[in-house]
Structure 1
Amino acid sequence: MTSTTYRSPLLDLPGAAPLQDTEALIDATGVAWHYGDPLGEQRRAHSGVVVVDRSHRRVVQVTGPDTEEFLNNLLSQKFLDTAEGFGASALDLDMQGRVLHHADIVRTAEGVLLDVPSAQLDSFLSFLQKMVFWSQVEVTEAELAVLTLLGAAGDVALPAAVVASRKVDWSAVERRDLLVPRSELKAVVAELRAAGVEPAGLMAFTAERVRALEPERAADLDEKSIPHEVP
């Protein structure tokens, strides 16, 4: 799977349409930009709950007894003494304090999962693997996909296939990210739809992301960006 060849199986859902602007900087390759009613999909996030396909993101898994200390020494987020289910964002900075990678993270019983835009997977994974040295950790790509619930996510019973979830503090709408096995992506969404959770495209997610003042690496930041520009 690469950033240019990925095609989500959820693009087979009725009305699914990818982003047509091939020059857009928004990370949207391979997933639905909308399902035929982009404004209605965003409104449903405020009146109920929707599920957004963000499976184009890639997931890195770090496991081993030194996981917390290893990541704490490399990234901007504090990892020491974090409990299972802890979710946040973390930055990889260069020597001048400029942002190289921006990952969303969640603590699991086995270690830490970090998801990044597809285009950043290779460089981020390589960076972490090169920094292992004597640390007792294993750094691999996890075959997991990201789904996001927008709306009253607390009212939704999560499918059994969900490996991990994290709540993200957005003020205008509740957001909960789910990490699921890629092989179970269609089944998980089918189960959510059976429970009344309809799909919404990445356009609705992007509108809420902008409202929450959360930047996207390629679209909103550049090689000179510093942490103060990443809430």
Structure 2
Amino acid sequence: MTEHLGGANGGAGGDRHHTAGPGTVPSFGAEISGAVVEGGVVVHFGDPVREQRALAAGRAAAPLADRTVIAVRGEDRLTWLDSITSQSVSTLAAGESTELLVLTPQGHIEHAAAVLEDGETTWLITDAADAPGLAKWLTMMRFRSRVEVAERDDLVVVGFAPEGKAAEAIVPLAQGRVWRDPWSVVSAGGWQYAQTDEHPGAERAWCEAIVDRNEASEGDVFAGAEPAGTAASEALRIAAWRPRWAGEVDEKAIPHESDWLRSAVHLNKGCYRGQETVAKVHNLGHPPRRMVMLHLDGSESTLPAPGAPVFDGDREVGRVTSVARHHELGPIALAIVSRRTAADAALVVDADGTRVAASQEVIVPADAGATAEIPRITRLSRRPLAE
């Protein structure tokens, strides 16, 4: 699964962009004037910085062609999902949102999905490259459970802030299918490793609407909202320290290293695949890697690409996973580094041969985990008792 590492680049590689042309089947949003498309995804509409500000302020919405919808129906759907994933969803009420992970037996992240319940269907929103594998695995896991699983290519996903003109325009088109990102708070049963009084995720107000593309055109969606590309949405995500499957997950990833216990793992629920590793690392051990945010030297015009190596001196200590140019913070990145990397280390990123200085902001500290208090057993003296 290494090809997934660094899949979300926030539009860093500008020379790879191209404008959607005739003869192609455009993704949702690609036919809007000024759309610049990369890999089937609208990266921006001509002014990424302005689009970021508008998206954060609730004036803009982003067509997310890199997100796919999976519908799970059937009367057993919630208890079934609860039994095979990291999140407690058995009592999820209509209108409630959460997110879940599917782990390997060894506790590594295999799939990730946003979860929205509407009372009849549980909607999963996942990164597009993850959707086929997740849908296949869910189908294989049905056994005798009364559930149906289907990828829905007739539906598109649009991201926006919950307050503002964009929400007013898009929410009615979604017919109640609006997922609200739980990242702004620590979910019930979750845990935050980041040691900060002001977590940047607390300011993340983000929604993703599921819209029927056969009933709502691009003109309908963006009649009351300015368009923004994924360069804008990715920059806001990275600034909030928010992990995603297409960026921060590789074959070694466990939830602890990216602080994903914060919103996608319930530590007190029943058994599920990979739970033993989750509990063991959280209670007794430490994740071998940890996520950091990097503030990159802005004097270099080139941003490193996802997957670029991170160095502490001459020693490679990790890899960049997601990169963006933020409208306030400047060039920033998320990276996964070795746990033993010093918190005050002066890091350098190799951007295609250019050494870019990077100031490290700790997200997951080196001492994350080992939360269980193990009672000390008094050792018996070997000296003979006095007569």
Which bracket does the TM-score occupy, shorter chain normalised? 0.7 to 0.9
CA 78–158 in structure 1, closer or farther in 2 if over 3 Å, else same: same
Shift of 1:55: 2.9
> How many angstroms apart in 2 are the aligned matches of 1:6 and 1:117?
20
**Are 1:218 and 2:230 an aligned pair?**
no
Shift of 1:157: 4.7
Shift of 1:174: 2.2
> How many angstroms apart in 2 are the aligned matches of 1:117 and 1:97?
20
Tell me the amino acid that sits aligned with residue 166 of structure 1: W
> How many angstroms apart in 2 are the aligned matches of 1:129 and 1:6?
29
CA displacement, residues 35-63 of structure 1 (integer Å, 9 cap, x when unaligned): 00000111112344211011332211111
Task: Indicate the residue corresponding to 2:209 in structure 1.
Answer: 178
- RMSD between superposed Cα atoms in Å: 2.1
Determine helix, strand or coil for the equivalent of 2:214: helix
| Structure 1 spans left out of the alignment, 5+ residues | 20-28
Determine helix, strand or coil for the equivalent of 2:43: coil
Q: How many residues align?
A: 215
> How many angstroms apart in 2 are the aligned matches of 1:139 and 1:165?
19
130, 145, 148: which one aligns with 1:138: 148
TM-score for both structures, normalised by structure 2: 0.52
Instruction: Please identify, of 105-114 and 90-99, the stretch whose mean Cα deviation from structure 2 is larger.
Output: 105-114
Task: Indicate the residue corresponding to 1:53 in structure 2.
Answer: 63
Give yes or no for contact 2:57–2:164 (8 Å, CA) kept in 1: no
CA 119–11 in structure 1, closer or farther in 2 if over 3 Å, else same: same
Task: Indicate the residue corresponding to 2:180 in structure 1.
Answer: 167
> How many angstroms apart in 1 are the aligned matches of 2:221 and 2:213?
16
116, 120, 127: which one aligns with 1:110: 120
Determine helix, strand or coil for the equivalent of 1:44: helix
**Are 1:97 and 2:126 an aligned pair?**
no
Higher relative contact order (CA 8 A, sep 6+): 1
Task: Indicate the residue corresponding to 1:129 in structure 2.
Answer: 139
Give yes or no for contact 2:158–2:209 (8 Å, CA) kept in 1: yes
Counterparts of 1:2-13 in structure 2, within 5 Å, are: 7-13=26-32
> How many angstroms apart in 2 are the aligned matches of 1:47 and 1:200?
12
> How many angstroms apart in 2 are the aligned matches of 1:91 and 1:173?
20
Task: Indicate the residue corresponding to 1:66 in structure 2.
Answer: 76
Tell me the amino acid that sits aligned with residue 36 of structure 1: G
Percent identity between the aligned chains? 30
Give yes or no for contact 2:58–2:160 (8 Å, CA) kept in 1: no
Task: Indicate the residue corresponding to 1:43 in structure 2.
Answer: 53
> How many angstroms apart in 2 are the aligned matches of 1:6 and 1:140?
23
Instruction: Please identify, of 53-62 and 35-44, the stretch whose mean Cα deviation from structure 2 is larger.
Output: 53-62
CA displacement, residues 145-198 of structure 1 (integer Å, 9 cap, x when unaligned): 11011363486254543140022235334211100113235x2x4234332x10
CA displacement, residues 62-119 of structure 1 (integer Å, 9 cap, x when unaligned): 1111011110011111111111111121100001111000111111121201121222
The structure that is helix-richer by fraction is: 1
7, 15, 20: which one aligns with 2:34: 15
213, 223, 245: which one aligns with 1:194: 223
CA 153–176 in structure 1, closer or farther in 2 if over 3 Å, else same: farther
Task: Indicate the residue corresponding to 2:327 in structure 1.
Answer: none
Give yes or no for contact 1:32–1:201 (8 Å, CA) kept in 2: yes
